[in-house]
Chains A and B, each alone.
Chain A
C-alpha cells in the first residue's frame, strides 16, 4: 500500500523501530536501578534514623516502605507481613505496572530522597539551566569545530600545523582538568570571572538586567570549559573526514574542471558532514542528562547533580524520570536525524526507493 510513497514508508518503518527501542529502554530504565543490593529506604534511614533506637528505627523504616509502595499492603492500608513479622516486599512487576500507568497519566511520582517533592518539579527546575548551558556549547562547538576542521584539512600548511595539535590537546584533555584550570587561572589568579554558581550569590532569578547580566557573566567559564574541548574534538573528526573526501575522485575531477574553490569546499563539507550530523544528534539528545562534571566544578545549576544523587541514593522515581527524559530526547534527536539524512543524502533515498 505504501509502495507508492517510499518516503512515508521510510519514516513509518523508522518510527516503528524507534517505538520498540523506546519500550525496551523504559523496561531497562525501570529494572536496572532495582537490581542493586541496597534499597532507597536504607539510605533514608541513614539520614533520619541515626539518633533513633532500634525499635523506633524499624517503625520509621516500615512507614517509608509503605509510603513508597515498596511493600504489600492490605485493603485497610496495613502492611502485610510474613510469618516472621517482616513486611512482604511488593513485587517489581506490580511496581512496574503502577509506574507505567502513572507515567501514562503524566505523573512521574514523588522523589524518595527529596520527599515530598515531585519528580516533574525537580526536572523542570533544573532543565532550563542544563539546556542553557549545553545547547549553545554543543551547537557552537559543533559549528565552529567543523568549520575549523574543514579549513584545516583544506588549507593545510601553517594553519593546520598550529591548529591540529591544539585541537588534539583539547580533545585529549579531560573536562574536569580543563574546568579546574580555567577556575584557577581566570577566577582565582586573575579575578576576571566568578569561580562558582550560575548567577551572583545575592540575586534571585528575575527578569531584570541585573540578573541576566550576572547569569551571562557566570556562564562564560562553564561555557568555555565545554565549548573549547568539544570544538577541538569535532574539528579532529571533521578534519579526517575532509582529508578522506579530498582524496576522492569527485573532488579531484572538480579541481581539474576548474570549479571554484568555495564550491569545492562546499561539496566536500556537505559529504563530510553526514557522520558529524549523527554525532550532533546524539549529543543534543544526551544533553538533558546534564553536564555533571561542569556542574560540580562550577557548582552550576542543572540536572546532572540530581541524576547523580538519585543514582547514588537509589531514588527510583527520580532515576526513572531522568532516564525517561534522556531516552525520549535521544530517540527524538536520532529520529530527526534519520529523517533529515533521508532527505539530505540521495544515497539513502535511493536505497529506500529501490526496495
Chain B
C-alpha cells in the first residue's frame, strides 16, 4: 500500500474527479444491501464472462437481444421447458417434467412444483402465453415458433402418483412436419410470467412501448438467479434462496451466491483475467491454452483437442458463379486445402482431424456417420489429386518460370479464370489465419484464390445476399436436438430460394436451384422427411444418402471442427467443474442448458 502513498498528488486529483462518476452508475433494486459495503465475497461469487459485450441494453425478455442472462440460451433467470444434454442426447426436465413425441403431436407435462419469484405457480397458461403472444403481436421474439407449430392445446392428466398435472399438446405444423424443431423450441423458448406481461400488454396495447421497458427492477423470474445490479462494467446476479427447482437437486441451492459477469473490451482481458484468477469461467477463443495451464486454466480435455467439437467452420461457396458452379472445381478445392495445418496453426489444435462430409464422426452424430462412404465419396487433402481433378476438368494453371508462384488459371475454353476471393471479417485473427492457410495450399495446387478481409459489418451485410465468391462461416453452431439436420438444412436447403442479391438465411451459396436443369429434388425431399423419421435405421440411411450427395457435390468446404462454446475455466477459486474425467454435465458454461447443474457441484477451491 506504500505505492498508493507515493502517489498522493494524483490520488487527490483523481479522487475529486471520481466523485462525479459514482452518481452516474445504474443502480437497481435489490442492490441496496450491497451498496456502500462494496464487494461480493470471493468464496461465494462465480465470475463468468463472454456473453455480454458492451453496455447491458435491457433485461426485458420481450426484446430480441436483451442483455445476459435474459437473451441467448441462458437458463439462470427465465427458464425453458426442458434442457438438452449433448452428452447423453436426452432432454431433461425443467419447467416441464417430461414429453411424449408422436409424428403429429408432442405433449409435455408441466411440473406443478414450479413457481415464479413472486410466489405464483408456473402454469400451462404461462407457457401458452409465451408461445402465443406473437399471434397478437407479430414482432414478439417468439414469432418464429409458428413456422413449425400448428397449434397448442391444453388439458389435464393424472400423474403417475395420482395427482393432477397440466399437459400441453404442441401440434407439429402440417406442412413443415418437423417435430425436431418443436423439440428445439422446448429448450430455446424461455417461459415468461403471463400475469406480469399480459397486464402490461393489455394496459398499453403496444408491444414496442413494452419493449422500451428495461424490466430490471425485481423481475418476476422462475430461475435460480435474479438480477441484482448492473453497470456498463458488469452484471451481477444473486441467488434466489426460494428457487422452486431446488427440489430437483435434493433440496440444495446452487453454491455461488452471486454470479458476476464482467464486461471486457478486448479478447486479451479474458485470457489475462482467467490466468490471474479474477475470472472463473469464460467462453472466448484463447489461443494456445496449454501455455495457460500452469496458471490454473483448464479445459474439458487436458490435451488436444482441449474442447469438445460440436460444429464446423466452413467456406461457403457461391455455386451460381463460374468456375464455382462446377462441382469438379469445388472438389479440387476440397482436395487442395491443408486441413491439418488449419487445425494446428490457425485453430491452436482445438479440433480433431477433419473427415469428409457434413456429419461429425463422434458424439451424438456418430451413428449417422459412415467411414465407408467418407472413403468412397469424400476427398481428403492431396495436392496431386487436386491438380489431377483440375486437369481432368479442363483447367490449366499457369505458374511463373520457377514454378513456385501461380500467375493465373484458364478454363477448358482457354479463357482466363478471374481470381476468387474468400470474404471474411478483418481483425478476427483466428478466422484470418484459417483463410490464409486455406489460400496458401490452394494456390500451391494451382487455384487462383486470395484472401478478401472486409469490415465485419460488410461481412454480415453480404452473408445473406450471396455477394461473394467464397465466405468463411460457422452455420448453426448450437447443439440442439435437431442436429445434424439443422446443419444440412443450413447448407443445402432450397426451400426459400432467392436469387443472389436478395437475402437467404440458409444455403447462402445458392446450391441446387429449383426449377433449372440439374436440380436435384432428392436433396430437398430428404431434408423434408428426415425430421419426422422415427425409425432409427431409416434415419441413418437418409442421413447417409444426404451426406453422400454433399461429398459428391461439395457445395461448401468444411475446414475444421469447432466446439459449441470454448469452455475454459480457472481452478484458482472454484473447483469440481465438469471435465473429461468428471463429465457430470456437458462442456457448457454453467448458464447454458443442462450445464447450469455445475453451479450445484462446484466448490470453493481448498487452499
Contacts and interface: CB of A to CB of B under 8 A. Distances in A.
B3 A192 contact: yes
A54 B461 contact: no
B34 interface: yes
Contacts of B3: 192-193
B211 A38 contact: no
A53 B496 contact: yes
Given A46-B463, A59-B143, A295-B265, 20 more contacts: A37-B458, A43-B457, A50-B505, A52-B144, A53-B147, A54-B496, A115-B63, A115-B64, A116-B60, A116-B63, A197-B233, A204-B34, A204-B236, A214-B38, A216-B10, A216-B14, A297-B266, A299-B262, A306-B54, A309-B53
A129 B457 contact: no
B461 A223 contact: no
A218 B424 CA distance: 36
Interface residues of B, number: 85
Contact of B269 (A116, A140, A196): A196
Contact of B18 (A43, A132, A202, A220): A132
A197 B208 CA distance: 35
A321 to B, nearest CB: 13
A312 B18 contact: no
B31 A48 contact: no
User: B interface, by DSSP: helix, strand, loop or mixed?
Assistant: loop
A112 B503 CA distance: 21
Contacts of B272: 183, 188, 195-196
A296 to B, nearest CB: 5
Interface in A268-302: 295-297, 299-301
A305 interface: yes
Interface of A: 36-39, 42-61, 63, 67, 110-111, 113-117, 122, 124-129, 131-132, 135-136, 140, 183, 188, 192-193, 195-208, 210-217, 219-220, 223, 295-297, 299-301, 305-306, 309, 312-314
B498 interface: yes
B457 A38 contact: yes
19 contacts: A37-B458, A43-B457, A44-B64, A47-B64, A54-B503, A56-B144, A56-B147, A59-B143, A61-B503, A116-B60, A116-B212, A131-B20, A197-B262, A202-B39, A204-B25, A207-B36, A212-B18, A299-B263, A305-B265
Contacts of B461: 37-39, 42-43
Contacts of A49: 505
Interface in B200-243: 208, 211-214, 229, 231-234, 236
B270 to A, nearest CB: 10
A211 B273 contact: no
Contact of A201 (B144, B260, B455, B456): B260
B4 A217 contact: yes
User: A interface, by DSSP: helix, strand, loop or mixed?
Assistant: helix
Contacts of B419: none
B576 interface: no
A189 to B, nearest CB: 12
Q: Which of B20, B27, B63, B64 has the most CB of A within 10 A?
A: B64
Given A129-B21, A206-B38, A223 B14 contact: yes
Nearest to A67: B208
Interface of B: 3-4, 7, 10-11, 13-15, 17-22, 24-27, 31, 34-40, 42, 45, 47, 53-55, 57-58, 60, 63-65, 138-139, 141, 143-144, 147, 188, 208, 211-214, 229, 231-234, 236, 260, 262-266, 268-269, 272-273, 276, 278, 455-458, 460-461, 463-464, 476, 478, 495-496, 498, 503-506
Contacts of A313: 457
B594 to A, nearest CB: 19
List the 6 shortest-distance A-B pairs measured between CB atoms, nearest first. Answer: A54-B496, A38-B461, A46-B460, A205-B25, A210-B38, A128-B21
Given A114-B57, A132-B18, A208 B36 contact: yes
B14 A136 contact: yes
Nearest to B64: A48
A201 B262 contact: yes
A58 B57 CA distance: 24
A127 B47 CA distance: 26
Contacts of B22: 205-207, 211
A128 B24 contact: yes
A212 B19 CA distance: 8
Contacts of A55: 147, 496
A132 B36 contact: no
Q: Which of A43, A44, A51 has the most CB of B within 10 A?
A: A51
B20 A132 contact: yes
Given A196-B269, A223-B10, A115 B57 contact: yes
A309 B266 CA distance: 12
B264 A63 contact: no
A202 B54 contact: no
Contacts of A113: 54, 57
A309 B139 CA distance: 25
Contact of B11 (A140, A188, A216): A216
A136 B64 CA distance: 40
A188 B21 CA distance: 28
A217 B11 CA distance: 9
B4 to A, nearest CB: 7
Q: Which of B188, B231, B476 has the most CB of A within 10 A?
A: B231
A59 B143 CA distance: 10
B38 to A, nearest CB: 4
